[in-house]
Chain A
Amino acid sequence: MTFINYASREINCKIVYYGPGLCGKTTNIQWIHSQANPEKRGKLVSLATETDRTLFFDFLPLDMGVIKGFKVRFHLYTVPGQVFYDASRKLILRGCDGVIFVADSQRPRMEANIESIANLATNLKDNGFDIRTIPYVLQLNKRDMPTAAPLAEMEELLRFHNEPMIEGVASRGVGVIDTLKACARQILMELQKN
Protein backbone atom coordinates (compact mmCIF):
# COMPACT_ATOMS: atom_id res chain seq x y z
CA MET A 1 0.00 0.00 0.00
CA THR A 2 1.82 3.01 -1.31
CA PHE A 3 1.95 6.06 0.94
CA ILE A 4 1.81 9.25 -1.14
CA ASN A 5 2.46 12.38 0.90
CA TYR A 6 1.72 15.52 -1.12
CA ALA A 7 2.78 17.71 1.78
CA SER A 8 6.33 16.38 1.98
CA ARG A 9 6.40 15.28 -1.70
CA GLU A 10 7.27 11.67 -0.90
CA ILE A 11 6.19 8.29 -2.19
CA ASN A 12 6.88 5.32 0.03
CA CYS A 13 6.48 1.77 -1.25
CA LYS A 14 6.98 -1.59 0.41
CA ILE A 15 8.74 -4.54 -1.21
CA VAL A 16 8.80 -7.93 0.50
CA TYR A 17 11.39 -10.62 -0.18
CA TYR A 18 9.80 -14.05 0.17
CA GLY A 19 11.05 -17.62 -0.18
CA PRO A 20 11.90 -20.80 1.71
CA GLY A 21 14.39 -20.93 4.55
CA LEU A 22 18.02 -20.13 3.68
CA CYS A 23 17.21 -19.21 0.07
CA GLY A 24 19.00 -15.87 0.26
CA LYS A 25 16.40 -13.24 1.18
CA THR A 26 18.47 -11.69 3.94
CA THR A 27 21.60 -12.01 1.80
CA ASN A 28 19.91 -9.94 -0.91
CA ILE A 29 19.14 -7.12 1.52
CA GLN A 30 22.55 -7.30 3.17
CA TRP A 31 24.17 -6.94 -0.23
CA ILE A 32 22.03 -3.91 -1.07
CA HIS A 33 22.89 -2.39 2.32
CA SER A 34 26.60 -2.92 1.80
CA GLN A 35 26.63 -1.51 -1.72
CA ALA A 36 24.18 1.37 -1.52
CA ASN A 37 25.40 4.93 -1.04
CA PRO A 38 25.14 5.52 2.75
CA GLU A 39 23.26 8.74 2.06
CA LYS A 40 20.63 6.85 0.14
CA ARG A 41 19.93 4.09 2.61
CA GLY A 42 18.88 3.87 6.22
CA LYS A 43 19.87 1.46 8.92
CA LEU A 44 19.45 -2.26 8.32
CA VAL A 45 17.20 -3.63 11.04
CA SER A 46 17.42 -7.39 11.52
CA LEU A 47 15.28 -9.26 13.99
CA ALA A 48 17.05 -12.60 14.05
CA THR A 49 17.79 -15.57 16.25
CA GLU A 50 21.14 -16.22 17.89
CA THR A 51 22.10 -18.32 14.89
CA ASP A 52 21.29 -15.48 12.47
CA ARG A 53 18.10 -17.02 11.13
CA THR A 54 15.47 -14.34 10.49
CA LEU A 55 13.02 -14.41 13.38
CA PHE A 56 10.56 -11.71 12.42
CA PHE A 57 11.88 -9.53 9.59
CA ASP A 58 14.78 -7.60 8.13
CA PHE A 59 14.10 -4.02 7.13
CA LEU A 60 16.06 -1.59 4.94
CA PRO A 61 14.81 1.80 3.76
CA LEU A 62 16.21 2.97 0.43
CA ASP A 63 16.02 6.37 -1.29
CA MET A 64 15.69 5.82 -5.00
CA GLY A 65 15.69 9.43 -6.19
CA VAL A 66 13.06 11.81 -7.48
CA ILE A 67 10.28 11.17 -9.97
CA LYS A 68 7.83 13.88 -11.07
CA GLY A 69 9.00 16.02 -8.14
CA PHE A 70 8.38 13.29 -5.56
CA LYS A 71 11.09 11.60 -3.53
CA VAL A 72 10.73 7.87 -4.03
CA ARG A 73 11.59 5.61 -1.11
CA PHE A 74 11.36 1.87 -1.02
CA HIS A 75 11.04 -0.04 2.24
CA LEU A 76 12.54 -3.49 1.78
CA TYR A 77 11.43 -6.28 4.08
CA THR A 78 12.31 -9.96 4.26
CA VAL A 79 10.16 -12.61 5.87
CA PRO A 80 11.43 -15.53 7.97
CA GLY A 81 11.59 -18.50 5.66
CA GLN A 82 11.38 -21.41 8.08
CA VAL A 83 8.06 -23.19 7.78
CA PHE A 84 6.84 -22.65 11.34
CA TYR A 85 7.04 -18.84 11.07
CA ASP A 86 3.98 -18.65 8.84
CA ALA A 87 2.03 -16.34 11.15
CA SER A 88 4.85 -13.81 11.00
CA ARG A 89 5.13 -14.04 7.21
CA LYS A 90 1.47 -13.17 6.87
CA LEU A 91 1.92 -10.05 9.03
CA ILE A 92 4.95 -8.80 7.10
CA LEU A 93 3.03 -8.97 3.82
CA ARG A 94 0.52 -6.39 5.09
CA GLY A 95 0.41 -3.36 2.85
CA CYS A 96 3.09 -4.60 0.45
CA ASP A 97 3.32 -3.08 -2.99
CA GLY A 98 5.51 -5.72 -4.58
CA VAL A 99 7.01 -9.13 -3.90
CA ILE A 100 10.37 -10.61 -4.83
CA PHE A 101 10.38 -14.39 -4.62
CA VAL A 102 13.87 -15.72 -4.00
CA ALA A 103 14.09 -19.33 -5.12
CA ASP A 104 16.89 -21.65 -4.07
CA SER A 105 18.26 -23.18 -7.27
CA GLN A 106 19.60 -26.29 -5.52
CA ARG A 107 17.62 -29.31 -6.67
CA PRO A 108 16.98 -30.71 -3.17
CA ARG A 109 15.21 -27.42 -2.35
CA MET A 110 12.78 -27.48 -5.26
CA GLU A 111 9.88 -28.81 -3.20
CA ALA A 112 10.50 -26.12 -0.60
CA ASN A 113 10.39 -23.48 -3.37
CA ILE A 114 7.07 -24.77 -4.67
CA GLU A 115 5.54 -24.93 -1.21
CA SER A 116 6.78 -21.44 -0.44
CA ILE A 117 5.14 -20.01 -3.56
CA ALA A 118 1.88 -21.70 -2.60
CA ASN A 119 2.25 -20.29 0.89
CA LEU A 120 2.89 -16.84 -0.56
CA ALA A 121 -0.27 -17.05 -2.67
CA THR A 122 -2.32 -17.97 0.40
CA ASN A 123 -0.84 -15.27 2.60
CA LEU A 124 -1.24 -12.64 -0.11
CA LYS A 125 -4.88 -13.64 -0.52
CA ASP A 126 -5.41 -13.38 3.25
CA ASN A 127 -4.07 -9.85 3.03
CA GLY A 128 -6.37 -8.93 0.14
CA PHE A 129 -3.84 -9.32 -2.67
CA ASP A 130 -3.64 -11.59 -5.70
CA ILE A 131 -0.33 -13.20 -6.58
CA ARG A 132 -1.28 -13.04 -10.24
CA THR A 133 -1.65 -9.25 -10.28
CA ILE A 134 0.67 -7.83 -7.61
CA PRO A 135 4.06 -6.56 -8.88
CA TYR A 136 6.18 -9.73 -8.69
CA VAL A 137 9.68 -10.83 -9.64
CA LEU A 138 11.23 -14.30 -9.49
CA GLN A 139 14.91 -14.48 -8.57
CA LEU A 140 16.65 -17.81 -9.15
CA ASN A 141 19.36 -17.57 -6.51
CA LYS A 142 22.41 -19.74 -5.87
CA ARG A 143 23.07 -20.32 -9.57
CA ASP A 144 26.67 -21.06 -8.62
CA MET A 145 25.84 -24.17 -6.59
CA PRO A 146 26.83 -27.56 -8.06
CA THR A 147 23.31 -28.96 -7.57
CA ALA A 148 21.62 -25.98 -9.23
CA ALA A 149 18.76 -27.15 -11.46
CA PRO A 150 18.73 -26.03 -15.10
CA LEU A 151 16.97 -22.77 -15.82
CA ALA A 152 14.34 -24.37 -18.03
CA GLU A 153 13.37 -26.78 -15.27
CA MET A 154 13.13 -24.01 -12.69
CA GLU A 155 11.08 -21.88 -15.04
CA GLU A 156 8.64 -24.69 -15.66
CA LEU A 157 8.20 -25.38 -11.95
CA LEU A 158 8.22 -21.90 -10.50
CA ARG A 159 7.38 -19.24 -13.07
CA PHE A 160 3.65 -18.90 -13.54
CA HIS A 161 2.63 -15.66 -15.19
CA ASN A 162 5.50 -14.36 -17.29
CA GLU A 163 7.01 -12.41 -14.39
CA PRO A 164 10.59 -11.16 -14.74
CA MET A 165 12.90 -14.05 -13.94
CA ILE A 166 16.43 -13.12 -12.92
CA GLU A 167 19.40 -15.34 -12.21
CA GLY A 168 21.28 -14.55 -9.04
CA VAL A 169 24.16 -15.33 -6.77
CA ALA A 170 23.15 -13.06 -3.90
CA SER A 171 26.25 -13.82 -1.81
CA ARG A 172 28.29 -12.13 -4.55
CA GLY A 173 25.67 -9.57 -5.50
CA VAL A 174 24.92 -11.11 -8.89
CA GLY A 175 21.37 -10.24 -9.95
CA VAL A 176 20.52 -8.50 -6.67
CA ILE A 177 20.17 -4.96 -7.99
CA ASP A 178 18.54 -6.11 -11.25
CA THR A 179 15.92 -7.97 -9.23
CA LEU A 180 15.17 -4.95 -7.08
CA LYS A 181 14.98 -2.66 -10.11
CA ALA A 182 12.59 -5.02 -11.88
CA CYS A 183 10.21 -5.03 -8.94
CA ALA A 184 10.46 -1.28 -8.35
CA ARG A 185 9.77 -0.65 -12.03
CA GLN A 186 6.58 -2.71 -11.88
CA ILE A 187 5.41 -0.84 -8.79
CA LEU A 188 6.00 2.54 -10.41
CA MET A 189 4.18 1.47 -13.56
CA GLU A 190 1.24 0.42 -11.35
CA LEU A 191 1.25 3.92 -9.84
CA GLN A 192 1.13 5.34 -13.31
CA LYS A 193 -1.80 3.09 -14.32
CA ASN A 194 -3.78 3.81 -11.17
Chain B
Amino acid sequence: MDLVMFEEEFEQLQEIIGRLQQDSASKVVFLVDKNGQQIAASGDLHSIDATSLASLTAGNVAATDGLAKLIGEKEFSLLFHEGEKDNLHISIVGKRGILVVIFDQSSSLALVRLRVKRASRELQEIFVRVEERAQNLASESARFESPFSEITDEDIDKLFGD
Protein backbone atom coordinates (compact mmCIF):
# COMPACT_ATOMS: atom_id res chain seq x y z
CA MET B 1 0.00 0.00 0.00
CA ASP B 2 1.22 3.54 -0.72
CA LEU B 3 2.59 5.43 2.25
CA VAL B 4 0.48 8.54 2.81
CA MET B 5 1.69 10.98 5.46
CA PHE B 6 -0.53 13.81 6.67
CA GLU B 7 0.63 16.89 8.52
CA GLU B 8 -0.54 15.82 11.95
CA GLU B 9 1.37 12.54 11.97
CA PHE B 10 4.38 14.08 10.22
CA GLU B 11 4.69 16.75 12.91
CA GLN B 12 4.44 14.11 15.62
CA LEU B 13 7.16 12.04 13.98
CA GLN B 14 9.31 15.14 13.60
CA GLU B 15 8.86 15.96 17.29
CA ILE B 16 9.90 12.48 18.40
CA ILE B 17 12.95 12.51 16.10
CA GLY B 18 13.96 15.95 17.39
CA ARG B 19 13.64 14.86 20.98
CA LEU B 20 15.61 11.68 20.30
CA GLN B 21 18.41 13.69 18.72
CA GLN B 22 18.61 15.94 21.78
CA ASP B 23 18.23 13.22 24.41
CA SER B 24 20.78 10.90 22.81
CA ALA B 25 23.29 13.72 22.26
CA SER B 26 23.63 12.58 18.69
CA LYS B 27 24.57 14.61 15.62
CA VAL B 28 21.79 13.60 13.28
CA VAL B 29 18.73 11.38 13.39
CA PHE B 30 16.92 10.19 10.27
CA LEU B 31 13.70 8.29 9.90
CA VAL B 32 13.66 6.41 6.62
CA ASP B 33 11.13 4.20 4.88
CA LYS B 34 12.25 0.65 4.09
CA ASN B 35 11.94 1.47 0.39
CA GLY B 36 14.57 4.17 0.65
CA GLN B 37 12.56 7.38 1.07
CA GLN B 38 13.43 9.84 3.81
CA ILE B 39 10.49 10.54 6.11
CA ALA B 40 11.90 12.92 8.71
CA ALA B 41 15.24 14.19 9.99
CA SER B 42 16.72 16.24 12.82
CA GLY B 43 20.15 17.68 13.58
CA ASP B 44 23.06 18.99 11.54
CA LEU B 45 21.91 17.98 8.09
CA HIS B 46 24.05 20.31 6.02
CA SER B 47 27.03 18.03 5.68
CA ILE B 48 25.03 14.94 4.73
CA ASP B 49 23.43 13.92 1.44
CA ALA B 50 20.20 12.76 3.05
CA THR B 51 18.72 11.30 -0.11
CA SER B 52 21.71 9.04 -0.70
CA LEU B 53 21.80 8.12 2.96
CA ALA B 54 18.15 7.05 2.90
CA SER B 55 18.63 4.92 -0.19
CA LEU B 56 21.86 3.29 1.01
CA THR B 57 20.42 2.62 4.47
CA ALA B 58 17.39 0.90 2.98
CA GLY B 59 19.68 -1.15 0.74
CA ASN B 60 21.85 -2.05 3.73
CA VAL B 61 18.82 -3.14 5.75
CA ALA B 62 17.36 -5.07 2.82
CA ALA B 63 20.63 -6.92 2.26
CA THR B 64 20.91 -7.68 5.97
CA ASP B 65 17.31 -8.93 5.96
CA GLY B 66 18.31 -11.29 3.19
CA LEU B 67 21.27 -12.55 5.20
CA ALA B 68 19.06 -13.06 8.26
CA LYS B 69 16.61 -15.21 6.33
CA LEU B 70 19.46 -17.28 4.92
CA ILE B 71 20.48 -18.31 8.42
CA GLY B 72 16.95 -18.82 9.68
CA GLU B 73 16.47 -15.54 11.52
CA LYS B 74 13.40 -13.37 10.94
CA GLU B 75 15.51 -10.19 10.76
CA PHE B 76 18.39 -8.38 12.39
CA SER B 77 16.62 -5.47 14.00
CA LEU B 78 19.77 -3.61 14.93
CA LEU B 79 22.90 -2.66 12.99
CA PHE B 80 25.83 -0.75 14.39
CA HIS B 81 28.75 0.61 12.38
CA GLU B 82 31.68 2.01 14.29
CA GLY B 83 33.85 4.62 12.64
CA GLU B 84 36.96 6.53 13.66
CA LYS B 85 35.02 9.66 14.46
CA ASP B 86 31.35 9.02 13.82
CA ASN B 87 29.20 5.97 14.38
CA LEU B 88 26.00 4.77 12.76
CA HIS B 89 23.20 3.09 14.67
CA ILE B 90 20.46 1.63 12.48
CA SER B 91 17.32 0.05 13.89
CA ILE B 92 14.03 -1.18 12.46
CA VAL B 93 10.83 0.53 13.57
CA GLY B 94 7.69 -1.49 13.09
CA LYS B 95 7.07 -2.99 9.67
CA ARG B 96 8.35 -0.22 7.42
CA GLY B 97 10.52 2.26 9.28
CA ILE B 98 14.27 2.54 9.76
CA LEU B 99 15.76 4.81 12.40
CA VAL B 100 19.29 6.05 11.72
CA VAL B 101 21.31 7.76 14.44
CA ILE B 102 24.71 9.29 13.73
CA PHE B 103 26.70 10.04 16.86
CA ASP B 104 30.27 10.76 17.88
CA GLN B 105 32.18 10.71 21.14
CA SER B 106 29.75 13.26 22.64
CA SER B 107 27.42 10.33 23.15
CA SER B 108 27.71 6.60 23.71
CA LEU B 109 26.27 3.46 22.21
CA ALA B 110 24.56 2.65 25.49
CA LEU B 111 22.81 6.03 25.63
CA VAL B 112 21.80 5.87 21.99
CA ARG B 113 20.35 2.37 22.42
CA LEU B 114 18.41 3.46 25.49
CA ARG B 115 16.91 6.52 23.81
CA VAL B 116 16.23 4.68 20.54
CA LYS B 117 14.27 2.02 22.40
CA ARG B 118 11.90 4.62 23.83
CA ALA B 119 11.59 6.58 20.61
CA SER B 120 10.91 3.42 18.60
CA ARG B 121 7.86 2.64 20.71
CA GLU B 122 6.50 6.14 20.16
CA LEU B 123 7.27 6.07 16.44
CA GLN B 124 5.62 2.70 16.06
CA GLU B 125 2.36 4.10 17.47
CA ILE B 126 2.41 6.88 14.89
CA PHE B 127 3.08 4.42 12.06
CA VAL B 128 0.07 2.37 13.16
CA ARG B 129 -2.08 5.51 13.02
CA VAL B 130 -0.68 6.38 9.58
CA GLU B 131 -1.62 2.95 8.28
CA GLU B 132 -5.06 3.02 9.85
CA ARG B 133 -5.70 6.44 8.36
CA ALA B 134 -4.57 5.24 4.94
CA GLN B 135 -6.86 2.22 5.18
CA ASN B 136 -9.79 4.39 6.23
CA LEU B 137 -9.11 6.68 3.29
CA ALA B 138 -9.05 3.72 0.93
CA SER B 139 -12.46 2.61 2.14
CA GLU B 140 -13.87 6.14 2.08
CA SER B 141 -12.40 7.01 -1.27
CA ALA B 142 -15.69 8.36 -2.54
CA ARG B 143 -15.64 11.10 0.10
CA PHE B 144 -11.91 11.84 0.17
CA GLU B 145 -10.93 14.23 -2.58
CA SER B 146 -7.46 13.19 -3.67
CA PRO B 147 -5.51 15.96 -5.40
CA PHE B 148 -4.34 13.38 -7.93
CA SER B 149 -7.78 12.35 -9.09
CA GLU B 150 -7.77 15.22 -11.55
CA ILE B 151 -4.34 14.76 -13.05
CA THR B 152 -4.67 15.32 -16.76
CA ASP B 153 -2.46 14.52 -19.73
CA GLU B 154 -1.67 18.24 -19.94
CA ASP B 155 -0.42 18.23 -16.34
CA ILE B 156 1.89 15.34 -17.12
CA ASP B 157 3.09 16.90 -20.39
CA LYS B 158 3.96 20.10 -18.54
CA LEU B 159 5.99 18.06 -16.07
CA PHE B 160 8.17 16.82 -18.90
CA GLY B 161 8.26 20.16 -20.63
CA ASP B 162 6.46 18.79 -23.68
Contacts and interface: CB of A to CB of B under 8 A. Distances in A.
A45 B62 contact: no
A91 B7 contact: no
Interface of B: 1-7, 10-11, 33-37, 39, 49, 51-52, 55-56, 59, 62-63, 65-66, 147-151, 155-156, 158-160
Contacts of B52: 42-43, 45, 59
A17 interface: no
A74 to B, nearest CB: 10
A72 B147 CA distance: 13
Nearest to B160: A181
Given A42-B52, A57-B59, 7 more contacts: A5-B39, A12-B37, A43-B49, A45-B56, A68-B155, A75-B37, A191-B151
A87 B63 CA distance: 9
Contacts of A49: none
Contacts of B34: 94-95
Nearest to B162: A181
Contact of A188 (B7, B51, B56, B156): B156
A65 B158 contact: yes
13 contacts: A1-B2, A3-B3, A8-B10, A11-B148, A64-B159, A68-B147, A70-B147, A88-B66, A94-B34, A95-B34, A95-B35, A188-B156, A194-B2
Would you list the 7 A-B pairs with minimal beta carbon distance, nearest first?
Answer: A95-B35, A7-B10, A91-B62, A192-B151, A7-B7, A68-B147, A191-B148
A35 interface: no
A193 to B, nearest CB: 9
A45 B55 contact: yes
Contacts of A188: 148, 151, 156, 159
B4, B35, B56, B63: most-surrounded residue (chain A CB, <10 A)? B35
B30 to A, nearest CB: 14
A79 B156 CA distance: 27
B7 A6 contact: yes
Contacts of B49: 42-43
Contacts of A95: 33-36
A4 B3 contact: yes
B160 A64 contact: yes
Given A42-B52, A91-B59, A7 B6 contact: yes
Interface string A11-29: 1101000000000000000
Interface string A49-74: 00000001101010011111110100
